[in-house]
Amino acid sequence: MNKELEKAIELLRNEEVVAIPTETVYGLAALITSEKALKKIFTTKERPFFDPLIVHVLDKKQAKSLTSDWNETADILADTFWPGPLTIVLPKNEKVNSLITAELDSVGLRCPAHPLAQEILKRVKIPFAAPSANKFKKTSPTSKAHVIAEFQDDVFVLDGGNCSVGIESTVVGIKENCIEIYRPGMISLKQLKEALSPKLSHIEVRETTSPVAPGQMSDHYQPSSPLLLLQKDESPQPSSQELILPSEASLAARALYHELRELAKKASLIHFYLKDYHQNKDWNAIIDRLKKASSNY
């Protein structure tokens, strides 16, 4: 067994926080049974306690054990998209510490696809909370090097390579006759509708915002150098360097945070041109992150 994996599991069992890889971004993990470790997530990230955490589970059975209302809609979404980058917000039960939910009565649940995250969940047999492994409001990490740059030696990092998705999960809430997308991700509104269509085609899917989901602030994901979003007829400042992303949305998502971090090391100002194809629905999540990371939106 991987020695780093063994160390990560031992630290989690000893009520410590560990940075672990998922397919979205690296997360700062703590077992949900340890209030000490959960508090350490907030202090390490310098994160306010009003911002809820997402709980990562091994499978649907473990997810059901943490909610008071697992319904048919949740069942279809989990069967379709788990393991994967979808977080489902549901009413919590007494097993979920209110620290995780920011005193709210709901909890975000996700089953990660990364094999190391899966292995940890199998071995410890306890779900873990894991927001992104970076300081609050800063650019999310998609590699071990990014986490080390953020926390130096203060946090043990389990190396799982570069994240295959590259941005945070889609977060959805389930209402009586609709699904609300609180945070866009690489699982789109169209995909959610298609998943429901065979049995629950009457359920509406719509985009909104909600305090039950993380990443809702207007200034989030910010690089250490200011980022400006420009229209095609605007000129950047002479000292600014351009953020260039692939034209395919899935590749752009994978590259986004890495490129932001690399540019911030060498440029005092960064700019990104908003192009016509960025209005396509598959770019929604990436443009959401760019707007929140920018200084002018």
Burial class (CB in 10 A: 0-12, 13-18, 19+), 235: exposed
pLDDT category of residue 217 using cuts at 50, 70 and 90: low
Query: Are residues 165 and 288 located together in one domain of the fold?
Result: no
CB of 174 within 8 A of CB of 90?
yes
Give the number of domains in the chain: 2
Q: What is the mean pLDDT of residues 182-188?
A: 96
State whether 188 and 236 are in the same domain.
no
Q: How far, in Å, CA of 88 to CA of 153, rounded? A: 33
Please indicate, yes or no, if residue 155 is contained in any of the structural domains: yes
Whole-number Å distance between alpha carbons of 105 and 60: 20
Is 97 found in the same domain as 47? yes
38 in any annotated domain = yes
Domain boundary among 207, 236, 261: 207
Residue 213 lies in a domain: no
Please tell me whether residues 118 and 264 are part of one structural domain: no
If asked whether residues 136 and 84 sit together in one domain, one would say: yes
Asked whether residue 216 is assigned to any structural domain, the reply reads no
The one-letter code for the residue type at 114 is: H
Q: Indicate whether 216 pLDDT > 70.
A: no
Q: Are residues 15 and 77 in the same domain?
A: yes
- Of 128, 123, 160, nearest to 143 (Cα)? 160
Determine the pLDDT at residue 200.
87
Residue 42 is assigned to a structural domain of this protein: yes
Cα separation values, 113 from 54, 158, 226, 256, Å:
15, 15, 33, 20
pLDDT of residue 52: 94
Question: Reduced to 3 states, what is the DSSP secondary structure of residue 270?
Answer: strand
Which of these ranges, 109-118, 135-144, 217-226, 242-251, has the smallest mean pLDDT?
Answer: 217-226
Q: Strand order of the sheet with strand 270-273?
A: 227-230, 270-273, 241-242
Q: Do 237 and 199 sit in the same domain of this protein?
A: no
* Single residue among 207, 239, 265 that ends a domain in this structure: 207
Are residues 199 and 267 part of one domain?
Answer: no
d(CA 256, CA 253) in angstroms, rounded, equals: 5
13 domain-assigned: yes
pLDDT tens-digit series, residues 102-143: 999 999 999 999 999 999 999 999 999 999 999 998 999 999
Q: pTM for this structure? A: 0.95
pLDDT over 80 (residue 212): no
Which of 268, 270, 267, 264 has the alpha carbon at shortest distance from 229? 270
Calpha distance 241→91 (Å, rounded)? 45
Range of the domain at 79: 3-207
Residues 6+ apart with CB under 8 A from 28: 17, 18, 19, 41, 44, 45, 130, 131, 132, 133, 155
Query: Looking at residue 207, what DSSP letter applies?
Result: E
**Partners of 173 in the beta sheet?**
89, 180
In the chain, the largest separation of any two C-alpha atoms, in whole Å, equals: 56
Residue 154 contacts by C-beta under 8 Å, 6 or more apart in sequence?
Answer: 44
Give domain status of residue 215, yes or no. no
Same domain, 69 and 140: yes
Instruction: State the CATH number of the domain containing residue 127.
Output: 3.90.870.10
Residue 100 counted as domain residue: yes
Q: Are residues 128 and 69 part of one domain?
A: yes
pLDDT in tens, 50-81: 889 999 999 999 999 999 999 999 999 999 99
Of 270, 55, 41, 25, give the one whose Cα is nearest residue 146.
25
Q: Do residue 159 and residue 234 come from a single domain? A: no
The residue among 136, 177, 181, 175 whose CA lies nearest residue 284 is 181
